[in-house]
Structure 1
Amino acid sequence: MDSLSRMAGVDRDVEVQALPGDDESDGLGWRTRVSLHVADDGTVGPYASRSHRVIPVESLPLATAGVNGAAPFGQRFPGVEGIDLVAPADGHVRMLLIDGKPQRRDTITERVRDREFRLEAGGFWQVHRRAAETLYDAVQSSIDEALFDPRAANLDLYGGVGLLAAAVGDRFGDTVRITSVESDEVATEFAGDNLAEWVGAASLTARVDRYLQQLAREASPAERRRLQGATVVLDPPRAGAKKVVVDALAALHLAQVVYVACDPVALARDVALFAERGYELRSVRSFDLFPHTHHVESVAVLVPAAS
C-alpha cells in the first residue's frame, strides 16, 4: 500500500482481496444500492463522466439483477430530483423518489450471518451484496482476544445501525460492554433495537469528536479506568478520523484500535498520527468492495508500541 509507505513510513505488501463471487462475475452485479439522477425534462439515469448531464441507459452492469429489474429505464419523472434503488435481503427492491417532500419512513431488514439488522430504507448500509458480511468477519478476526476486556468501556465509533458493535458482541458474548456512537439520530435509534439483546450495549447520538471531547472533560475516575485498556472499533467516513479524534483516542490509553477505512490515503494519514502518539500498525487487510472503481476498503489494527 503506497500511501502507508509514503505518509506513515510503514512498508507493507497488502493484497487487495476480491469478495466471493466477484472473480467469476468479472466484478459485475454486486451493487444493492444505486442512486439515479433526474434531468429537468424527467429523464432518468446516471451522470455522464465528469459532468452533471443525465444520460439514459438500458442497464446498470454493476447492480444486482433485482435492481436492474426494478430500475425505471425509459421512464420520465418530472419534478423529481433523484431516484434511489435499494435491494435489501428480502429481495423486494424499493424505489425511493427524492422530490424534496417529507417521506414516510420505510424500514428494511438486512441479514449478516444469522443476524438481522433493521434500518431505514434510505439509510446507510454497505452497497456490495457481501460487504457487510466481509467487514463483520474481518473485525471479529482482527480483535486480539488477549487484549480484549469485555468489562472495559469498549467503543464502536461512527457505528451506524450497529453492524460492527454486533460483530464484537457475537464474538465475545452478550454481556460485553460496548457503546455505539453515531451522529445520525435515526440510525442510532435502529442501532438500539439491533443491539438490544446485549445487556452491556448502548447506542448514543453524537458527533464522534464531540463525544470524545466530552469524555475527556466529564468522565468519572471509574469510567476513565474502564476506558483504559478498552478496544475501539471505528469506521469513519471517507475523510477519515482526523487529528482531533486520533488525539482523543490516543489519550485514552487503549488496548487496541480496529480501524475500518474506505480511503487508503486517509487511513495512512491517521496511522501516522497514531504513530506520533505511541501506537503502531500491527496488521492491515484490504478488500475490493467496489469492483471496477478505484476505491478500496481496509481493516487495520493499531496497538500501543512496544516500549
Structure 2
Amino acid sequence: MGEMLGKDVELDVTGIAHGGISVARLDGRVVFVTDAIPGERVRARITEDRKKSFWRADTVEVLDASPHRQEHVWGAASVDRDPSQRAGGAEFGHIALAHQRELKRQVLIDALSRMAGIDFDVVVEGVPGDDEVGGTRWRTRVRLHVDESGRPGPYAQRSHTVIAVDDLPLATAAVEEAAPLEQRFVGEEHVDVLSPSEGGARLIIGKQARTTVVERVGEREFRLDDGGFWQVHHGAAQTLTAAVQDLIDPALMDPRAMNLDLYGGVGLLAAAVGDRFGQALRITSVESDSRATDHAAENLQEWIGASAVTGRVERWIRELTSTANQGDRERLRQATVVLDPPRSGAGKDVVGRITSASPAQVVYVACDPVALARDIALFQEGGYHLDGIRAFDLFPHTHHLETVVRLTR
C-alpha cells in the first residue's frame, strides 16, 4: 500500500455518499472522490490509499461532464485550482442548485432505508429567495482561520491550510463587506464575522468579551451572545419555526403536559411551540450552555409555564425519568418532546430515556441525515414510528441539509 499516493487515475463516478463526496470504483475498489458529480468521468489524484476497503481522490480534470455541472459559484474553490488550494465550505458549488437538492434527497432516503428500514420519500425544499440568487448570500456567520502570517481565510477542504480569498459569495453582502480579508491578525487562531438581524455586521477576534445580539424571527426577538449558536442561513430560524409548528400533531398536543425542548439553545423552538399553542403552554427547555440558558429564560419569559434549565441533556433526562412520580409520569406520557441535537445526534442513551417516558409525540430536528436515521432506528426499537418528514436546503452549495421528523408511538 502507499504506491498509488499522488497518482492520477480515470474514474467513472456512480453515486453520492454522505459528506458531499462522490463514489467511484477502480478495479472493484471503492474510491471516494471530491468535486465530481455522479455520471461523470474524471481524472482524479489519489490522496489516500492506505485503507484496504476504500481510497480517496480529488478531481483534477473533468473528462465527461454531467449536464448538472456549472461553473463553481466560488472561484477560490474551482476544480481549475490545485486541490490543496481549493477553499472549503462550498463542496457542492459546481453542481446546479436543483440537482444539489436531488443528491441530498438521495443521501437522506438512502440513510433512512439502510439504517432504519424506512421507505419514505421526501422533497428537499429550498428557502424562499434562494433560487433567485443561485443559492448564494445566505451565511450570516463566517469563521475565518488565520495562518502563520496573520492572514485570514477559509480552510481548504479536509485540511488546516488557510486559503487566501478575495470574496465570500455564500456570505450575506453585509458579512462579505465586513470580512477583513486584507487585514492581518498575527497570533490569533480565527476571526468570526457575523451579521445579526439588528445592529449591523461585527467581528469577534480571539477571546474578546461577549456582547449580546438580537435575532428576529417574524415579529419575535431573540437575544443571544454574539458567539452563541444561531442558525447560519438568514432564513433558517423562520423555516425551522414553521416546520416544527407544522409537524406537531395538534390532536396529540397537550399544552399542559410536561412538554420538553431538548438541546434548546436560546429557546427558538420552544418559542415556536408557544406561538402555535398559546400562553397556557408548559415547556421546559434544556441546554448545557449556561449563557444560552440565561438568554432562553429571557426569550421565553412571556410564557409563565416555560422554563429554561442548564444541564447536559443525557444527565438531565436520566434524572427526570428516574425520579418522576406517578403524576409526572402521566404528564410525560401526554407530552410533546422537541429535540435539536448536535450533528452527532441524540444517541442511544437519550433516545432510550425518551422512549421509556413514552411521550405522545417527538419532533426531531436534525442536521445530519445519517445520525438521524440511526436515531430513528433506536426510536423504532422503543415503539415509535416515523409519521411525518420534511427536509430543507438550509446550506446551499454544501452537502448539509436539515431534516425535521415527527415520531409517534
Cα displacement (A) at 1:143: 0.6
Indicate whether 1:61 and 2:61 are aligned: no
Cα displacement (A) at 1:217: 1.9
1:251 is paired with a residue of what secondary structure?
A: helix
CA contact (8 A) 1:66 1:91 kept: no
Matches for 1:1-307 after TM superposition, within 5 Å = 1-90=109-198, 92-98=200-206, 101=207, 103-304=208-409
Deviations 1:119-147 (A, max 9, x none): 00000000000000000000011111110
Deviations 1:176-225 (A, max 9, x none): 00000000000000000000010100000001110111012222222122
Greater relative contact order (Cα 8 A, min sep 6): structure 1 or 2? 1
User: What TM-score do you get using the length of structure 2 for normalisation?
Assistant: 0.73
What amino acid sits opposite 1:122 in the alignment?
Answer: G
Once residues 157 and 50 of structure 1 are traced to their aligned partners in structure 2, the CA distance between those partners, rounded to angstroms, is 31
CA contact (8 A) 1:56 1:74 kept: no
Once residues 271 and 159 of structure 2 are traced to their aligned partners in structure 1, the CA distance between those partners, rounded to angstroms, is 40
Once residues 163 and 398 of structure 2 are traced to their aligned partners in structure 1, the CA distance between those partners, rounded to angstroms, is 19
CA contact (8 A) 2:151 2:181 kept: no
Deviations 1:251-300 (A, max 9, x none): 11110000000011111111111111110100111000000111110000
Cα displacement (A) at 1:41: 1.1
Cα displacement (A) at 1:91: 5.0
1:140 is paired with a residue of what secondary structure?
A: helix
Cα displacement (A) at 1:48: 1.8
How many correspondences in the alignment? 301
Once residues 222 and 149 of structure 2 are traced to their aligned partners in structure 1, the CA distance between those partners, rounded to angstroms, is 38
What amino acid sits opposite 1:74 in the alignment?
Answer: E
Identity across aligned pairs (percent)? Answer: 61
Cα displacement (A) at 1:105: 2.0
User: What TM-score do you get using the length of structure 1 for normalisation?
Assistant: 0.97
User: Alignment RMSD, CA only?
Assistant: 0.9
Q: Which moved more, 1:87-96 or 1:173-182?
A: 87-96
What amino acid sits opposite 1:207 in the alignment?
Answer: R
What amino acid sits opposite 1:290 in the alignment?
Answer: F
Runs of 4+ in 1 over 2 A off after TM superposition: none
Cα displacement (A) at 1:174: 1.3
2:132 is paired with a residue of what secondary structure?
A: coil
Cα displacement (A) at 1:21: 1.0
Once residues 16 and 75 of structure 1 are traced to their aligned partners in structure 2, the CA distance between those partners, rounded to angstroms, is 39
| Residue in structure 1 matched with residue 94 of structure 2 by the alignment | none
CA contact (8 A) 1:177 1:201 kept: yes
Flag structure 1 segments of 5+ consecutive residues without an equivalent.
Answer: none
Deviations 1:10-61 (A, max 9, x none): 1011110011111111110100000000111111111122221112111101
What amino acid sits opposite 1:61 in the alignment?
Answer: P
What amino acid sits opposite 2:190 in the alignment?
Answer: G
Larger radius of gyration between Structure 1 and Structure 2: 2
2:131 is paired with a residue of what secondary structure?
A: coil
CA contact (8 A) 2:267 2:299 kept: yes
